[in-house]
Amino acid sequence: MTDILAIGTALPTYRHAQKDILTFMQRVYALDATEERKLRFLYKHSGIAYRYSFIPDYSKPMREWKFYPPEESLEPFPNLEFRMSWFQKYAAALSVDAIRDCLQHYGPERPAITHLITVSCTGMSAPGLDLQVMEMMELPRQLHRSSINFMGCYAALHALKQADSICKADPTAKVLMVCTELCTLHFQKVPTADNITASLLFGDGAAAVLLGAGSTSKKIASLRGFYAEVVPKGKRDMSWELSSTGFLMTLSGYIPELISTDFKPLLERAMQHYQLGLHQIDSWCIHPGGKRILEAVQQSLQLEEQALESAEAVLREFGNMSSPSVLFVLKRIIEAGKKGKVLAAAFGPGLTMETCFLEIPAADE
């Protein structure tokens, strides 16, 4: 059995209030009065209070902007090379902050890490994030490295699945995985529905997890199984593509309806796979993709109002950080002292729905 031994998180320098981000968007989108009212309504009802970024511009006066040209037109608009240079500059350091937080929770002794899995869909290069982290953490040169790229918001659960396979194949393995996303690097100034939705929801953050097998004295949760499905009819409703001005997000307003329709049947099939009933789940670790997505999950499963409070809190405090988000939720569930069976679920391009069944041990286990 594979155990989670520690979880750590990290956030960038700048904490932006959602109301300040709205002011930035109103300035650069140059909308008419009707569209501005719609934008204010969306921000007010987003369920988000704050988001984090390495870019100070979103809540600073124009004269203090560092990433965008100090013009309302934002011209010359930052190109992909410039955005990736910021990813190169900041992503590894944020990853290491999350890893150090993780290892601090593990204890004073440093584990002998044998495998590193890095996860990101907001920046790529070769040599990449994995080698940067290895060097900054002074990990052994013989380290086994894997990178999971461009899988979006469900990638953390996919990485846990890969770590589980490694630990089952090698019981002596200690796997370190880190999910790092700088979503705010990819703001697009053309006020399409997709761009407005992305600029409304996404923030930056990182989360790291240490895993191993047979570590009963250290475990904070155990991985029990995985189940995933692709919903092909949602293929065009969630996507993430490269362009000369950054990565372009498609996030259709139809996604909550898809989840509302398809999530419960998927979970019922997942529960058959796990040999459990939905009523046996003690805690729900749902990726906080947005307020409407959480509402769709709650309604489709007919959950009690407080069942998704950890996911709602993460959304409120940090926004949707893509892949790290579900790990922020899991950390909050564990730190709240919850015990028993946990069902984690996240959604991403495909439309892919990925689940993970975990157990949090009681204090005397």
pLDDT score of 252 = 60
Q: In whole angstroms, what is the distance from residue 204 CA to residue 319 CA?
A: 8
In a domain, 124, yes or no: no
pLDDT score of 107 = 85
Domain that holds residue 309: 221-360
pLDDT score of 216 = 64
Question: Does the reported pTM lie above 0.85?
Answer: yes
Length of the chain (residues): 365
Q: In whole angstroms, what is the distance from residue 351 CA to residue 336 CA?
A: 31
In a domain, 365, yes or no: no
Domains: count for the chain: 1
Q: If DSSP states are collapsed to H, E and C, what string results for 174-189?
A: EEEEEEEEEHHHHCCC
In a domain, 34, yes or no: no
pLDDT score of 23 = 95
The ranges of the chain with pLDDT < 70 are 215-216, 234-239, 250-254, 363-365
pLDDT score of 241 = 79
In a domain, 183, yes or no: no
In a domain, 188, yes or no: no
Q: In whole angstroms, what is the distance from residue 187 CA to residue 340 CA?
A: 40
pLDDT score of 235 = 64
pLDDT score of 363 = 67
Q: In whole angstroms, what is the distance from residue 346 CA to residue 42 CA?
A: 23
Q: What sign does the dihedral 53-54-60-66 (CA atoms) show?
A: negative
In a domain, 299, yes or no: yes
**pLDDT tens digits, residue range 85-135?**
999 999 999 999 999 999 999 988 889 999 999 999 999 888 899 999 999
In a domain, 326, yes or no: yes
CATH number at residue 252: 3.40.47.10
Q: In whole angstroms, what is the distance from residue 85 CA to residue 75 CA?
A: 18
Q: In whole angstroms, what is the distance from residue 83 CA to residue 337 CA?
A: 40
In a domain, 239, yes or no: yes
